[in-house]
Structure 1
Amino acid sequence: MKKPITELVEELVTPIVQEMDLELVDIEYVKEGKNWFLRVFIDSDTGVDIEECGQVNEKLSERLDEIDPIPHNYFLEVSSPGAERPLKNADDFQKALNKHVAIKTYEPIDGEKQFEGKLTSFDGENVTLTVKIKTRTKQVIIPYEKIAKARLAVTFNF
């Protein structure tokens, strides 16, 4: 059975980012309009700059050209995940402790499927958020396996 493009790209790009002491955050392979995009998101503890993105792009592009796994034209983009970085695994949740996050669940919890607040704890099975509802705060416990999507959330204090 043929591997999905994202898995193949992960195998190709992982040694490149490790060699540069960077972290692979996510890979997307999507069609937008009539164009296909292969997006690779990288980061580090100090962030990434355009030069590092360019170096990863160039090295990955060479590897993709060698094995030519994608039969049609596509755009390769390598970038930082930005301020609203996705939380994809348990390590990401641990790193996001005490930060503001947005979470969508597969099914309602207390009648809601979308939550935003401070990630106050993660024990591997449950995520605890402190959410603000009007003038009061409330703890919401979300089972980890019920999380469909999660990301850091940008907050603005005026």
Structure 2
Amino acid sequence: MTDPVTRGAPDRLFELLEPVAESQGLDLVEVGLSRTGRGHVVRIVIHSEAGVTHADCARVTRAAGAALEEAETFPGSYVLEVGSPGLDRVLKEAREFDVFRGRRVRVWIREGGTSERSGVVAGRRGDESVAILEDDGEERVFDWASVAKARLVPEQNRRDDGGEA
């Protein structure tokens, strides 16, 4: 049986919490929700070009907790977890190509099999297409539905390598 609180909730929670992250100068990347024996677990993933610090996570935890309480989102108890996307995050939605613009990425495309491309995230092109700038300088645009997988590639000399929470 589907829990009425969790049905469609990640999208509603994203809408509620995106302004909270933005008010802290951060991007909201993902909101996840799961049910435990005693309540719910809300997982929030935030991002900043400068890196996500523990202080960022603490500020978002306080602000998101206040927003969830004010909206009376859950009838019982819940656990709130806030963290960074990690250095080698799998990109799960086309909109993440805007969030991670400028970062190195590997993309596996379904085209009569699966081919692998790599380059720098160039952003979205429309609602359902994404683009990368390949190492040869050529921009490649893919329909998001044809992307089998897209994963950020950690860079050795990035300023924020050690700063992610």
TM > 0.5: yes
Unmatched tracts of structure 2, length 5 or more: 135-139, 157-165
- State the distance in 2 between where 1:61 and 1:120 align: 32
- Identity in percent: 23
Report the AA paired with residue 111 of structure 2: I
1:12–1:63: 8 Å Cα contact kept in structure 2? yes
Equivalent residue number for residue 67 of structure 1: 71
- Runs of 4+ in structure 1 deviating by more than 6 angstroms, as ranges, are 32-35, 120-123
What RMSD over aligned residues (CA atoms) do the two structures have, in Å? 3.9
Structure richer in strand, relative to its length: 1
Report the AA paired with residue 21 of structure 1: G
2:119–2:133: 8 Å Cα contact kept in structure 1? yes
Unmatched tracts of structure 1, length 5 or more: 131-139
Q: Which residue, 4, 11, 30 being the options, matches 1:26?
A: 30
Q: Which segment is superposed worse, 27-36 or 6-15? A: 27-36
Offset of 1:38 from its aligned partner? 1.2
Equivalent residue number for residue 45 of structure 2: 41
Q: Which residue, 104, 108, 111 being the options, matches 1:109?
A: 111
Look at both structures and tell me which one has the larger radius of gyration over its CA atoms. 1
**Given the superposition, is the C-alpha separation of residues 144 and 75 from structure 1 closer, same or farther in structure 2, using an over 3 Å criterion?**
same
**Given the superposition, is the C-alpha separation of residues 7 and 141 from structure 1 closer, same or farther in structure 2, using an over 3 Å criterion?**
closer
Offset of 1:50 from its aligned partner? 0.5
- 1:9-158 map, 5 Å: 9-31=13-35, 36-87=40-91, 88-90=93-95, 92=97, 95-96=100-101, 99-103=104-108, 108-112=110-114, 115=116, 117-119=118-120, 124=125, 125=129, 127=131, 142-147=142-147, 149-154=149-154
